[in-house]
Structure 1
Amino acid sequence: MNIFSFNTSDPAVKNLLLWKAGAEEEKWALKAVESLVKKLRKKSGGCGTVEDLEFALGHPVSASKCVTIPRSQDGRLQVSHKKNLPHVIYCKLWRWPNVQSHHELKPIPSCRFPYDSRSEQICINPYHYVRVEQQSAPIIYRNPNGMNSANDYYHNSPIGGYNSPSSGSESDFMMRHQDQIQPHYFGMTPEDLQHSPYSNYTPSPIRQGPSPSAMSDDNDEQDRKSSLGSIVFHRPHTEIDDADVWCTICYYELNSRIGEPFKVTTPSVTVDGFTDPSNGSDRISLGPLSNVNRNQMTENTRRHIGKGVRFNCNDHQVTVDNMSQSTFFIQSRNVNYKHRYQLTTVCRVPSNSSMVIFDFDLFKSLLEGAKNEDYENVKELHNMCFIRMSFVKAEPQKNIVRYAIALYSSFTCIKFEENTKNKPVVNFVKRGGCFSFLGPLVKGNSQIVSLDDYCMESYLTPIHEIAHLLGVFHEHSRPDRDSHVKVYFSNTAKKDKHNFEKFSEETSLTYFKYDYSSFMHYDNRAFSGNGERTIDAVLPEYQRTMGNMVYPSASVFRSINQFYGCEKRCSKSNTICLNNGYPNPNDCASCNCPEGFGGRHCEKRAESVGVDCGRDFEATTDWQTINETLIRDLGPSPYPFYCYFHIKAPSNSTIVIRLKEIKMVCSTACSLNNLMLNLGSNRMIESIRFCCQSDATKFKELESKTNLAVLGLYSRNKNAHFVADFKIR
């Protein structure tokens, strides 16, 4: 590399570029170093100078000082079109060109300002970090010997389910146990995890359809090649020689079982990817297992296991703890049945999270109900006992985008067709942030939507960016926004002020009244340059409603339908939609309903998703109480669980609601979970969201404008609980 090709006259920048380790784009490397030198020279706090950094790079084996820069609002640093954590950027530049994530880096003990310390300064000295060694093998699970228990055979079974044709033969292992019902668990590769949350399916009478609350793998060919590992557990019956064995674990790489099955007798067992030969009865290390056919792709995937997982068995359930630094995916028909998911749904378990993977009490009750069933139905209980798990190279983020697109296809006349052959109109890429160029889409033009990894924490982020693609501006950029919110430009970073500009009536899709709950609205601290609020709601009860990340607001979809002329399809329809619904342009005989309403004409309470809660109440002159907890024990998800409550009073009366208790994750925009209240006359735009006990104290008593009050309970992570009293005014 010729450093003099860089267009810079600063000798410090040139000296630092001498130590560039990889083949990073020269323009990007130059900007990264120039930005750093500027920060180091002008900073007033922290420690370390440009000279200290030059010493560290020139003397890698010597002790060196911390070299710090101020922590940004979100902890990340943007250089040109790339955005990442500062210490990752400079470790990538000067030490490890292939480092991708902070999970791969660990600070040395003498570092005073490591990234994980959450101090106001971040050390970016690349020699104050070491590369994490993950000697491991991902636990990726494939049906052994072609066993195809991923198929759904449930037909007239006591546990209901879905029908799909069998595509594989059962193994001898299954046949030996088919006359006895014992829990089995085993993993598979992503190619076996074929069902998306929104894929076609045939629900049984007792199912309400699949929840998007857990993700299926996207069947990406690269992931398929790099997946490996399998765990098979079984709870033995009396024919097993060792009566103390409750679990047998088998490890698979692609189609081949590696090593012998591990029999487990202890209540807790850890499966990791290390090479420690001193395995005890409560530990299984997969590192020493060899495979002459292992390729580089498989070897790379093995590194995801790390500290692995721990299985815990008691009299009531089996749980798994993810102790690795990678997310893993698990498919448990038992848990899916319990939570009313599609039986083939795949749940993700992030690092340092836990999940119940088998409920013995549920299984026992199902087994009791199957006593008089035929062979096929009883065999399905046997299939329920198999659990598949998989570490994959990348999370199946394509499915989140596909789900977002599916919502547009359901609620509007806009259709997206996925293809890889012709020139695409829309490219979903990773370009250093969450953004989209503003539409509307024009035939023949190609546009991009950038969705980096962190953009996938909520499925509403891709929905938000697709709305921009279709021509929708931010709600807080409406020409009438000053009547509804106050924007504090003094608290906004200079480079981000354009995000709060107002647009004219001619350029805005402003068909309805201001919607604080729109997923196109920023939260009250968005793009803050000093940590203070950038937006305040004129109506204080809507303060936490802004920045909605749990449910797609109906007003945006309807604006798109009007702008693109979709509603003209139903101009001759006689369909009557209640509660501010409107005819669905894809089926004029049914309606698109506001949040909390369902049925073909929005005439009833919407169904719950992922949980068994929600009900209808009749208000009287006496106080009544709602005391509800939404159970969310599957870990964080881009998709929420939710349920609704309708409180109805006689005509010409209103309802008083007193909030007593709100227990859930309290946050600026209630983005992880919240209590929704729609007490207005326009059901499409008047949703209020609370998530803190202080909300219940501040807005203790609320009154509906009509004789119907709608409440909703949402959670994308952890349990959500509230207590409220109500009566007729």
Structure 2
Amino acid sequence: MFYVILFLLWLPSVKSVQIWQINENQKDLTTYGDMILTPSQRQRYAHKDSSVRHLFIKETTVNRWQNNTIPFVVSSKYSKQNAEIILEALKSFEEKTCFQFKPRVSEKDYLFIDALDGCYSYVGKTGGRQLLSLSEDCLADYIIWHEVMHAIGIEHEHQRPDRDKYIRVVYENVDMRQIANFDKLAENGVEYTDKYDYQSIMHYDGFAFGKVMHGQRLVTMLPLARNVRLDDNMKLSFLDIKKLNRIGKCDSEKEQSNELCADKDNSCNSMKNRGLCEMSFYRSTMLKLCPHSCGFCSPPARLHKTTCEDRDVNCESYARNGFCSEKFYKTIHEVKCAKTCGYC
């Protein structure tokens, strides 16, 4: 009971809707929260010791999109406004990675984005008309990117075979009907050597599939690293982009477009001078209107390893006072205090 009380006290700092919540009652079609498996994939997943269990690695040619180009069709069920949300999310994904999305002409293999009953996708290219479901609740860029990464062939970060070195799954707090969502992938199926990425958009938050007690969701995953919280990851992390560009075999360093981080209001400098960038009450507004002036922009996503160093003499003080683990300051400290805050 002591541990349960502790888990109840850790509340998420950002309360955004998550894929696992939207799909919580969608049990017939999906596996691991939001993945659809083909019959052959399902058979492989059923054998946990199989050397071919990790789909993305073992189907290296069959499940790749040719030339990193993904033909797609957006269902006519979407309103014009909702279709534009999807298109903008795909455009933003293109600007960060080597993958391109093109409206389907006559291609045999293509992504069909449909407004069904949840957020889910196949893993990798399956061939033919390939479903990716985005109900109205799923129309947020971070959810669209998550499902697109599944379609490219990437699985969940918290299911890595080495995850127990980085997180502790609190099984007693997991809804018994959802235990399978914490299965680990086969150890011999991992080929990437990137460090465990708590900030990955493919990592569920620390309350995923938790039981509800006294109106509060119980914690199901606890980070083992210091100054880390498993909050809602709503942007592609540095390692997400690095992995995508490695998969796409990019030859050049591809940086995030400056256009993505442009201010959208002429009075941003004035609002910054009034201190609104630092006020948590205005954070979501300033993040949307004035990302450039407030310094919320992500550092360029480069393929090559950068120097791991601090650029501010006060980094140790920031860390002692908990700023490294505060999501509001994360983007700033990724640049200024990368070493002390453990971002490299």
TM-score category (smaller protein):
0.5 to 0.7
| Distance across 1 between alignment mates of 2:242 and 2:310 | 31
Partner of 1:416: helix, strand, or coil? strand
The count of corresponding residues between Structure 1 and Structure 2 is: 257
- The superposition leaves residues 281-334 of structure 1 with CA deviations (integer Å, 9 ceiling, x where unpaired) of xxxxxxxxxxxxxxxxxxxxxxxxxxxxxxxxxxxxxxxxxxxxxxxxxxxxxx
Partner of 1:542: helix, strand, or coil? coil
- The superposition leaves residues 260-297 of structure 1 with CA deviations (integer Å, 9 ceiling, x where unpaired) of xxxxxxxxxxxxxxxxxxxxxxxxxxxxxxxxxxxxxx
| Distance across 1 between alignment mates of 2:331 and 2:284 | 25
Partner of 2:103: helix, strand, or coil? coil
Query: Amino acid of the residue matched to residue 179 of structure 2?
Result: K
Partner of 1:454: helix, strand, or coil? helix
Query: Amino acid of the residue matched to residue 705 of structure 1?
Result: K
| Distance across 1 between alignment mates of 2:152 and 2:221 | 25
Q: Give the corresponding residue for 2:278.
A: 628
- The superposition leaves residues 668-706 of structure 1 with CA deviations (integer Å, 9 ceiling, x where unpaired) of x99xx83325546xx6xxx9xxxxxxxxxxxxxxx7637
Matches within 5 A, 1:224-373: none
Aligned partners of 1:654 and 1:705 also within 8 Å: no
What stretches of structure 1 of length at least 5 have no aligned partner?
Answer: 1-72, 84-218, 224-393, 571-582, 585-591, 600-605, 615-624, 663-668, 688-702, 711-729
* Higher normalized contact order (CA 8 Å, seq sep 6+, divided by chain length): 2
The structure-2 alpha-carbon separation of the partners of 1:446 and 1:490, relative to structure 1 and needing over 3 Å to count, comes to farther
| Distance across 1 between alignment mates of 2:201 and 2:157 | 8
Partner of 1:526: helix, strand, or coil? coil
Q: Give the corresponding residue for 2:13.
A: none
The structure-2 alpha-carbon separation of the partners of 1:486 and 1:660, relative to structure 1 and needing over 3 Å to count, comes to closer
TM-score of the two chains, using structure 2 as the length reference: 0.58
| Distance across 1 between alignment mates of 2:169 and 2:284 | 38
Q: 1:557: Cα distance to partner?
A: 2.0
The equivalent position to 1:463 in structure 2, one of 142, 145, 161, is 145
Q: 1:472: Cα distance to partner?
A: 0.9
User: Over aligned residues, Cα RMSD in angstroms?
Assistant: 4.9
Q: Give the corresponding residue for 1:554.
A: 238
Q: Give the corresponding residue for 1:261.
A: none
The equivalent position to 1:655 in structure 2, one of 298, 315, 334, is 315
Partner of 1:417: helix, strand, or coil? strand
Q: Give the corresponding residue for 2:42.
A: none
The equivalent position to 2:86 in structure 1, one of 380, 392, 401, is 401
Q: 1:77: Cα distance to partner?
A: 7.8
Residue 453, structure 1, aligned to residue 104, structure 2: no
| Distance across 2 between alignment mates of 1:395 and 1:709 | 43
Larger Rg: 1
Q: 1:542: Cα distance to partner?
A: 1.4
Q: Give the corresponding residue for 1:720.
A: none
Aligned partners of 1:656 and 1:704 also within 8 Å: no
| Distance across 1 between alignment mates of 2:279 and 2:151 | 38
Aligned partners of 1:496 and 1:527 also within 8 Å: yes
The structure-2 alpha-carbon separation of the partners of 1:653 and 1:634, relative to structure 1 and needing over 3 Å to count, comes to closer
The equivalent position to 1:705 in structure 2, one of 331, 339, 343, is 339
| Distance across 2 between alignment mates of 1:493 and 1:651 | 44
Query: Amino acid of the residue matched to residue 434 of structure 1?
Result: C
- The superposition leaves residues 411-460 of structure 1 with CA deviations (integer Å, 9 ceiling, x where unpaired) of 33222211366555111113321111111x26x4432111111112x310
Matches within 5 A, 1:556-705: 556-564=240-248, 566-567=249-250, 569-570=251-252, 583-584=253-254, 592=255, 607=261, 609-610=263-264, 612=268, 628-629=278-279, 642=291, 643-644=294-295, 655-658=315-318, 674-677=328-331, 679=333, 705=339
Q: Give the corresponding residue for 1:489.
A: 171
| Distance across 2 between alignment mates of 1:222 and 1:626 | 40
Aligned partners of 1:520 and 1:547 also within 8 Å: no
TM-score of the two chains, using structure 1 as the length reference: 0.30
| Distance across 2 between alignment mates of 1:511 and 1:447 | 30
Q: 1:525: Cα distance to partner?
A: 0.4
Partner of 1:516: helix, strand, or coil? coil
Residue 416, structure 1, aligned to residue 101, structure 2: yes
Residue 535, structure 1, aligned to residue 221, structure 2: yes
Aligned partners of 1:82 and 1:432 also within 8 Å: no
Partner of 1:447: helix, strand, or coil? strand
The structure-2 alpha-carbon separation of the partners of 1:451 and 1:407, relative to structure 1 and needing over 3 Å to count, comes to same
**Which structure has more helix as a fraction of its residues?**
2
Query: Amino acid of the residue matched to residue 315 of structure 2?
Result: I
Aligned partners of 1:432 and 1:450 also within 8 Å: yes
The structure-2 alpha-carbon separation of the partners of 1:480 and 1:74, relative to structure 1 and needing over 3 Å to count, comes to closer
Partner of 1:502: helix, strand, or coil? coil
The structure-2 alpha-carbon separation of the partners of 1:505 and 1:408, relative to structure 1 and needing over 3 Å to count, comes to farther
- The superposition leaves residues 459-510 of structure 1 with CA deviations (integer Å, 9 ceiling, x where unpaired) of 1001001001111111111122111111122222233223222113443463
Partner of 2:144: helix, strand, or coil? helix
Aligned partners of 1:431 and 1:450 also within 8 Å: yes
